[in-house]
Amino acid sequence: MGDQMLLRTPIPSVVKFNQLLNSVTKMKHFSHAIHLFNHMCAIGLPVDEYTVNSAIKCCCQLRRTTDVCKDQLIDDAFKLFKEMVFQKRIQPDVITYTSLISGLCKLSQWDEVYKLLKEMDDYRISPDVHTFTILVDAFCKEGKTEDAESVINIMVEKGKEPNIMTYSSLIDGYCLRGEMTKAMTVFDAMVIKGILPDVFTYNSFLNGYCKKLMIDEALQMFYEITRKGMKPDTVTYNTMIQGLFTAKQCGAARKLFDEMRAQGQIPNECTYRIILHGLYNNHEVEDALSLFKLMGNSKLNSDVEVYNILIDGASKCGMHEIARNLFQDLAVKGVQPTVRTYNAMIRAVCREGLPSDAKQLFLQMEESGCPPDNVTYCLLLQSYLKNKHYVDVEMLLQEMDARRYSLDVSTLSLLIDQIAAGSLRNTLLKSIRKLLPKELAGGPWFFCLAQ
């Protein structure tokens, strides 16, 4: 439709294009919106603050959908921004700066964020509540709750009152760090100011309590949601179900899963992954497989992450034949295994004591365009060491060095034991030393290897 508008004579006004741009953006068709904006600029159509702000938002939104082009898209956003500033056609406003700050925070490019904040101050453009909230949320997600508190203090000094999202972001930050007392202090301060918590706020508390296995407190928060007249969402149920499984309360978790469906909340992929993982971890293997079969030919039945859980779970429970059948089922359904899938299967055959099968899977990974990762190499090394395949061990160590991978503690310990027993050559110590992870470099391991 945008291209048709561009061909009309006379060309519609910028207001009409902005309306179309807004509609396309709301539908999350960000690439189409940027395409339309580029066409508008190409024909020399005057653009205003709204047009450019929408284009910058789209660039920053697209960054979240693909790692390959994220830097390019942020560059595109900055290019648009600089055109606004240097050509003096359009004066950037708080929305423009906030959109860019949001994109940069997601990339943790703090130096650029601080430059933009300084620039806003120079241009006497005051950050609004949304700008401050983005900063609070970004700091909290990186575990920098003290910095988030400082932002709120500055916010209040500038006469901007924190809203429900600001407080909820800070509460979420403390909950992620397991600092539940501080989270509750913020919660109480928010309520005193007349700001009522929403489901997102309660979900943060549920997550924090469940991670600390404070299940009674989590359940109290869960039931408070309905007492306050709110409806638990899928995230609420997922968090609580996972917490119950982790606390070995399988019956309560399954009951809550049934309640979720009875309340009209449709389980998503994450829900089923949590249920299957929880059942396997609690040795409810038959129930996990029954649930998987009940999925039928649904999208969930072809979810590679579900297969990863099932394969790894079956292997841990000693059901190696089931693990193999599940892996073969992927090929039948045309589902491409991921690195995690191969690692789960390699771990399964290693538990069976079949290093040759593990090697075959390793070679299959490369052939299928799924390069092995650090975990793959450590799994294979452990298998080769336990089965005395020392030639393969030396080959893998060389490959790990070429790929700049590192050894985990378990594999490192096995290697040292084999060298001490005389099964491996002392000359390998130099190679092993190069594969030490950063956190172990310079520590006792390093000095042990240096001898």
Over residues 236-251, the mean pLDDT reads 96
Amino acid 433: pLDDT: 83
The whole-chain average pLDDT of the chain stands at: 84
The model's pTM: 0.75
How many angstroms separate the CA atoms of 222 and 241, rounded?
Answer: 11
Residue 238 has pLDDT above 80, yes or no: yes
How many angstroms separate the CA atoms of 6 and 68, rounded?
Answer: 31
More confident residue, 33 or 140: 140
More confident residue, 364 or 300: 364
Tokens of 23: 């509609």
In the chain, the percentage of residues whose pLDDT exceeds 70 is 80
Return all residues near 13 (Cβ < 8 A) that are at least 6 apart: none
Question: pLDDT digit string (tens) for 57-94?
Answer: 666 666 443 335 344 455 665 666 666 555 556 677 88
Residue 182: Cβ within 10 Å count = 17
In the chain, the percentage of residues whose pLDDT exceeds 90 is 51
More confident residue, 353 or 43: 353
Amino acid 447: pLDDT: 46
Residue 112 has pLDDT above 50, yes or no: yes
Residue 359 has pLDDT above 80, yes or no: yes
How many angstroms separate the CA atoms of 265 and 244, rounded?
Answer: 18
How many angstroms separate the CA atoms of 275 and 243, rounded?
Answer: 11
Residue 374 has pLDDT above 80, yes or no: yes
Over residues 131-159, the mean pLDDT reads 95
Confidence of residue 96 (pLDDT cuts 50, 70, 90): confident
Q: Which fold has domain 1-123?
A: 1.25.40
Residue 364 has pLDDT above 50, yes or no: yes
Cβ proximity of 195 and 163 under 8 Å: yes
Q: Please report, for the chain, the start and end positions of each structural domain, with discontinuous segments joined by +.
A: 1-123, 268-372
How many angstroms separate the CA atoms of 138 and 358, rounded?
Answer: 42
Question: pLDDT digit string (tens) for 381-397?
Answer: 999 999 999 889 999 99
Over residues 235-250, the mean pLDDT reads 96
Query: Can the peptide bond before residue 10 be classed as cis, meaning omega within 30 degrees of 0?
Result: yes
Over residues 189-218, the mean pLDDT reads 95
Q: Which of 6-10, 372-376, 415-419, 433-437 has the highest mean pLDDT?
A: 372-376
Over residues 356-364, the mean pLDDT reads 94
Residue 335 has pLDDT above 80, yes or no: yes
Over residues 152-161, the mean pLDDT reads 94
Amino acid 220: pLDDT: 95
Confidence of residue 246 (pLDDT cuts 50, 70, 90): very high
Question: pLDDT digit string (tens) for 397-451?
Answer: 999 999 999 999 899 889 888 888 888 888 788 888 888 877 666 555 444 555 5
Lowest mean pLDDT among 8-17, 218-227, 248-257: 8-17
Residue 41 has pLDDT above 60, yes or no: yes
Amino acid 19: pLDDT: 76
How many angstroms separate the CA atoms of 95 and 123, rounded?
Answer: 14
Over residues 8-22, the mean pLDDT reads 65
Amino acid 362: pLDDT: 94
Lowest mean pLDDT among 184-198, 271-285, 426-440: 426-440
Ordered alpha helix ranges (H), 43-128 = 49-62, 70-86, 94-106, 110-122
CA dist 207 → 84, 197, 263 (Å): 43, 15, 21
Polymer length of the chain = 451
Does domain 268-372 fall under CATH 3.30.565.10? My reply is no
Over residues 263-274, the mean pLDDT reads 92
